[in-house]
Amino acid sequence: MRPESFIASRIFSASKENLSASIVRVAILSVAMGLAVMVISVAIVVGFKEQIRDKVIGFVAHIQIQPLSNNASWEIAPLTIDKDLIDYLVNTKGIRHVQAVANKAGIIKTEDHIQGVVLKGVGPDYNWSYLEKNVIAGKIPLISDSLRSDEVLISKNIADKLYLNTGDMLRMWFVSAENQQTRGRRFKVTGIYETGLTEFDELFLFGDIQHVQRLNNWLPNQVGAIEVAVQDIDAMKLIADDLYFKLPAELVASTANENYPHIFDWLQLQDMNVIIIIILMILVSGITMISTLLIIILERTPMIGILKSMGAGNRFIQNIFLINSLSILLKGMLWGNLISISFCLLQLQFGFLKLPADSYYLTEVPIHFNLYHLLLINLGSILIWFITLSVPISIISRIQPSKAIQFS
């Protein structure tokens, strides 16, 4: 054992009843709580952003290709698809799935209620995997190439407002953009979904794209947009930019972030909350560590004077107190990691912390536990410890042995 470590182990013990021992317990608790709050905050915000992002992309896919002339109106110009375009998209590196969709705004009218909605027409190639996980009653509509299906999937939000259930018939009315005539369609509710993303749940129902094509007087190869799912979400922007320049001039490719900037900008703001929390925790833990070390140094000033009078250098004595403070830090980090990991695992398993879905789009606090984030926070804590302790440690070099021994 090195002399510094031996002396450090003899001059301090948290079990001793002295002033520094009490302060050290507070310091360990401060480091533990600070680290735990940082880890939990990062896990919650990353989980929150990922779940909201997945919900939005579940509705609109990663990339949408549509005519350049389209605007924010629900009455859009058709996109004519051909085999060459689909083959190009399918064979593009990084693209996982391609599907055609078309939206048509309308009104559902029952005997006592009326509700404005959007029929999202999909074909047999539509990927239902996201909605299947969120179906709470009934089943996904059966849609084929040959026969036009009258089955629809509605949200729980719409079902509650209009008092609809699976197996019920509903009539939806549309207005033709060409002659302003009202046209009705009768659908059968085969399933009810709930994603918690209110902005979409209160608006969309899913049905056969052939209805939208007939209502708009489109040809069978004309659709509203082509949705593209990518393999790696981090490459979404690069793939969209590449498609933008390689597609025909009348088409434009845009990402989900660009189509719904208000949602993704709101998610980016959550990063600022985490940054503020981390800064506050670093300040609290750092100030506590500095105060703790200063108290220990003041309490051990006579000992420092004796060691200096015996020939010990400043670096030797500083190492003694650094070992003490490192012991405090490691104990605090150990408890902080245990607390944060336990909390994350319990929340993932039981979801005991709930959220109001109307405000947060989620029913429980999300968690994304990442070992990389955990390691980064721990290494950052050690770095901050090294920087903050340079101030109190420098005081040791100013202590004069003659004066220090006088007060022993």
- 203-222: pLDDT as tens digits: 999 999 999 999 888 998 89
Q: Are 205 and 120 in contact (CB under 8 A)?
A: yes
pLDDT at 279 over 70: yes
Q: Among residues of the chain, what percentage have pLDDT more than 70?
A: 91
Q: Residue 61 — left, alpha, or beta (φ > 0 → left; ψ -120 to 50 → alpha)? A: left
Residue range 308-351, pLDDT digits in tens: 777 777 778 777 778 878 888 889 899 999 999 999 999 999 88
Would you say residue 113 has pLDDT above 60? yes
Domain segments of the chain: what residues? 3-54+264-406, 69-248
Average pLDDT over residues 194-206: 89
Specify the pLDDT at position 104. 92
- How much is the pTM? 0.77
Whole-number pLDDT of residue 14: 45
Compute the average pLDDT of residues 32-47: 89
At position 333, the amino acid (one-letter code) is M
Rounded CA gap, 199 and 274, in Å?
Answer: 25
State mean pLDDT over 380-397: 78
Does position 407 have pLDDT exceeding 60, yes or no?
no
Higher-confidence residue: 360 or 231?
A: 231
Q: If you average pLDDT over residues 97-123, what whole number do you get? A: 91
Predicted local distance difference test score (pLDDT) of residue 272: 82
Three-state SS sequence of the chain? CCHHHHHHHHHCCCCCCCHHHHHHHHHHHHHHHHHHHHHHHHHHHHHHHHHHHHHHHHHHCCEEEEECCCCCCCCCCCEECCHHHHHHHHHCCCEEEEEEEEEEEEEEECCCCEEEEEEEEECCCCCCHHHHCCEEEECCCCCCCCCCCCEEEEEHHHHHHHCCCCCCEEEEEEECCCCCCEEEEEEEEEEEECCCCHHHHCCEEEEEHHHHHHHCCCCCCEECEEEEEECCHHHHHHHHHHHHHHCCCCEEEEEHHHHCHHHHHHHHHHHHHHHHHHHHHHHHHHHHHHHHHHHHHHHCHHHHHHHHHCCCCHHHHHHHHHHHHHHHHHHHHHHHHHHHHHHHHHHHHHCCCECCHHHHCCCECCCCCCHHHHHHHHHHHHHHHHHHCHHHHHHHHHCCHHHHHHCC
Report whether pLDDT(15) > 50: no
- Rounded mean pLDDT, 135-149: 90
Alpha carbon 265 to its chain centroid, in Å, reads 12
The closest of 267, 217, 174 to 77, measured between CA atoms, is: 217
How far does CA 163 lie from the centroid of its chain? 34
Per-residue pLDDT band for 354 (boundaries 50, 70, 90) equals confident
**What are the backbone dihedrals phi and psi of residue 67, each rounded to the nearest 5 degrees, phi first?**
-60, 145
**Exposure b/e, 370-391, CB count within 10 A at least 16 = b:** eeeebeebbeebeebbeebbee
Which pLDDT band, with edges at 50, 70 and 90, does 12 fall under?
low
